[in-house]
Chain A
Amino acid sequence: MVYFIIRRILQIIPVIIGVTLLLFILLYIIPEDPAQLILQKGATPEALANLRAKMGIDQPIYVQYWRYIKGLFSGNLGTSYRYQRSVNSILAEHYPYSIKLAFAAIIIEIIIGIFAGIISAIKKYSIWDVLVTISTTILVCVPVYWLGMILQVTFGLKLGWLPMSGYGDGSIRYYILPAVTLASVSTAFVARMMRSTMLEALSNDYITTAYAKGLSQFKVIGKHAMKNALIPVVTLIGLDLGSLMGGAILTETVFNWPGVGRTIYLAILQRDAPVVVGGTVILVGIFIIMNLIVDIIYAWLDPRIRFEKVEPNI
């Protein structure tokens, strides 16, 4: 097990270096001159040159990359072109909002997704099953931000039940619409996965045995079938925290949610590359770490994976 964990951690090091290198190259080849961006028009050539020297962008790319990596490992993501503040402090300010929203989304995903999946599996081919199947199929294809807009119009504007956008005073009413929007696609995936793993679990002999013993359906499903059916679903939910980070940009933009996603979006519009890259590095970092954790938990649950030959990709 220890060997497996060490191997997996060693595997992500080149990935992290590759990701930063890729993002750094993107940052480096941004066509605009950052010094020009900061000083606006009408700056003297000397002032521009001074600023470039101060920022270190007159040095060759490998020197700059080395400095960036050094900064990254000591937890420094650079300085925003726009605000002249450190990217760390900007992201730190907005991060809690994204995390809170992601957790709200995960809770919705777990409750609705698992419940819908189980109902759908137990009452296979009933009207509920058809309903769940149709709605999950459609949800997977809906553009998230469009769903958000529809929820805004229906529940915010027409019915007036919930606030249309913003964080407000942070009460739960402000969370509902953005969290449902963010959770929508993943909930559909969880429900589908839950349905198929549950059906598989229910077809096992030990379930028949459990029924034959005279256990109630509630006990058979809740205790015997659930245990095996949940493993892949938990994996999916774990991996999902990463993809929620990607979806956050769209959802937060539609709902004016003050999180990292919206910060990245605004930074894109303002051509503020260090913020875009810094924010992306953090999101990708979370994604990679979640993958690692899920892999380790999975290996712990299923010993076959631990002793697999070194052929991790297929």
Chain B
Amino acid sequence: MESEKKDKFNINSHVEEGEVAIELAEDFFMERKYSRTSLYKDAWKRLKRNKLAMFGLSIVILLILIALFAPFLSTHDPIARVKEDSLLGPNKEYWFGTDLLGRDIFSRIIYGSRVSLEVGIIAVGISVLIGLSLGAISGYFGNIPDTIIMRIADIFFAFPYILGAIAIMTVLGPGIINIFIAIGLLGWASFARIFRGSILSIKNKEYIEAARALGASNSRIIIKHIFPNAFAPIIVYATMNVGTAIIVEAALSFLGIGVQPPNPAWGKMLSEALDYIDVAPWMMVFPGLAILITVLGFVLLGDGLRDAFDPKLK
């Protein structure tokens, strides 16, 4: 064991193996391993102490569990209509009451969590992917690619989020795949800006120069050295953005251009409740609460992560 470790630090013995040699050399010169684990360990320690953040985290975990085990948790078929049970208030049989078509609202909310989570994760995932790729090109290469990408980002920033989503959905037509595309496309600009900023602040540091001197390629420098250091703000922003994505999806479904019936989505349930707020207020109370609690979870967790990664900000 001891000899193996020693061997690792001996660059010369690996020099023929190219990539491996670079990695070991990097380890040797930058002591990257130690600093990296401690950043996340410290952040986790701080996060654990933050009660609000832990509250947010437990909401998020609970939500994931509900979405995963929806078939076991729901008491009825979420899309089965029971004509005789139309517009019943909350009772022993239907915990959250029923809607106009006699569908169980509790089960619809349970299944609705799947839509919200899918949109939150996939749409933000698309934004992150596009944002990181364009941000990396923009920040690392500068000049013309930078100008072009950042001007395009300006165009996307010029759209109020919900307005842009509405415009895109009007054209693409309703449906969950189109929601992924619309929200994903709209969100990339912020990620590109954040990542570009991180790269600009990092790319002239000595350890990047050192990596370049050791012969590391551009993509290797971005992936191995810049990305881990720019990761924290991206995680924070992505967590918060999941909340925004869920709110926007609910708004789109509410306007009738999001998820289509009979699929249960919280926003859609609210728009169905709009005509019956006088006779069946439970139709709107529970889906609204579901959205509120979910978004609250992601926002609190995002806030907590921000403070945990950068205690100076607080």
- Where the two chains meet, the residues of A that have a C-beta atom closer than 8 Å to any C-beta of B are 11, 14-15, 18-19, 22-23, 26-27, 29-31, 137-138, 140-146, 149-150, 152-153, 157, 242-243, 245-247, 249-250, 253-254, 264-265, 268-269, 271, 273, 276-277, 280, 283-284, 287-288, 291, 313-314
Whether B158 contacts A277 by the Cβ 8 Å rule is: no
Whether B255 contacts A313 by the Cβ 8 Å rule is: no
A26 CB, min distance to chain B CBs, angstroms: 5
Contacts of A22 in B (CB 8 A): 155
Whether B166 contacts A249 by the Cβ 8 Å rule is: yes
Q: Is B291 an interface residue (CB 8 A)?
A: yes
Contacts of A26 in B (CB 8 A): 167-168, 170-171
For A146, give its contact among B158, B159, B288 (CB under 8 Å).
Answer: B288
Contacts of B162 in A (CB 8 A): 246-247, 249-250
5 additional contacts, CB 8 Å, given A141-B299, A268-B255, A284-B160?
A: A14-B155, A30-B170, A249-B166, A253-B255, A283-B163
Whether A141 contacts B295 by the Cβ 8 Å rule is: yes
Q: Can you spell out 15 A-B residue pairs with CB atoms less than 8 angstroms apart?
A: A14-B154, A18-B151, A19-B155, A19-B159, A29-B171, A30-B170, A142-B288, A144-B251, A145-B254, A153-B281, A157-B278, A245-B160, A268-B166, A276-B167, A284-B163
Q: Is B89 an interface residue (CB 8 A)?
A: no
Q: Is B277 an interface residue (CB 8 A)?
A: yes
Contacts of B267 in A (CB 8 A): 143
- Where the two chains meet, the residues of B that have a C-beta atom closer than 8 Å to any C-beta of A are 150-155, 158-163, 166-168, 170-171, 173, 193, 196-197, 200, 243, 247, 250-251, 254-257, 267, 270, 273-274, 277-278, 281, 284, 288, 291-292, 295-296, 299-300
A249 CB, min distance to chain B CBs, angstroms: 7
Binding site of B, secondary structure by majority: helix, strand, loop or mixed?
Answer: helix
Contacts of A271 in B (CB 8 A): 170
Whether A138 contacts B274 by the Cβ 8 Å rule is: no
Whether A284 contacts B159 by the Cβ 8 Å rule is: yes
Whether A277 contacts B167 by the Cβ 8 Å rule is: yes
For A140, give its contact among B254, B257, B288, B299 (CB under 8 Å).
Answer: B299
Q: A141-B243, A143-B250, A157-B278 are in contact. Are A149 and B288 (CB under 8 A)?
A: yes
A23 to B278, CA, bound (A): 39
A313 to B135, CA, bound (A): 12
Contacts of A138 in B (CB 8 A): 292, 296
Interchain Cβ contacts within 8 Å, total number: 129
A59 CB, min distance to chain B CBs, angstroms: 20
A18 to B291, CA, bound (A): 34
Whether B284 contacts A146 by the Cβ 8 Å rule is: yes
Whether B255 contacts A15 by the Cβ 8 Å rule is: no
Q: A149-B273, A280-B163 are in contact. Are A15 and B154 (CB under 8 A)?
A: yes
For B153, give its contact among A157, A276, A288, A313 (CB under 8 Å).
Answer: A313
B199 CB, min distance to chain A CBs, angstroms: 10
Contacts of A152 in B (CB 8 A): 277
Q: A141-B243, A268-B255 are in contact. Are A246 and B163 (CB under 8 A)?
A: yes
Q: From B201, which residue of chain A is reached at the shortest CB distance?
A: A314
In this complex, the member of B150, B155, B162, B196 whose beta carbon has the largest number of chain A beta carbons within 10 angstroms is B155
A153 to B279, CA, bound (A): 10
Contacts of B273 in A (CB 8 A): 149
Whether B173 contacts A249 by the Cβ 8 Å rule is: no
Q: A15-B151, A249-B162 are in contact. Are A23 and B167 (CB under 8 A)?
A: yes
Q: From B151, which residue of chain A is reached at the shortest CB distance?
A: A14
Q: From A291, which residue of chain B is reached at the shortest CB distance?
A: B158
A265 to B152, CA, bound (A): 27
For A313, give its contact among B155, B196, B254 (CB under 8 Å).
Answer: B196
A265 to B254, CA, bound (A): 11
In this complex, the member of B153, B170, B267 whose beta carbon has the largest number of chain A beta carbons within 10 angstroms is B170
Contacts of A265 in B (CB 8 A): 255
A314 to B274, CA, bound (A): 43
Whether A142 contacts B160 by the Cβ 8 Å rule is: no
Q: From B149, which residue of chain A is reached at the shortest CB distance?
A: A313
A28 CB, min distance to chain B CBs, angstroms: 9
B108 CB, min distance to chain A CBs, angstroms: 16
Contacts of A283 in B (CB 8 A): 160, 163
Contacts of A150 in B (CB 8 A): 284, 288
Q: From A11, which residue of chain B is reached at the shortest CB distance?
A: B154
Q: From A23, which residue of chain B is reached at the shortest CB distance?
A: B167
Q: A15-B155, A269-B256 are in contact. Are A149 and B277 (CB under 8 A)?
A: yes
Whether A246 contacts B167 by the Cβ 8 Å rule is: no
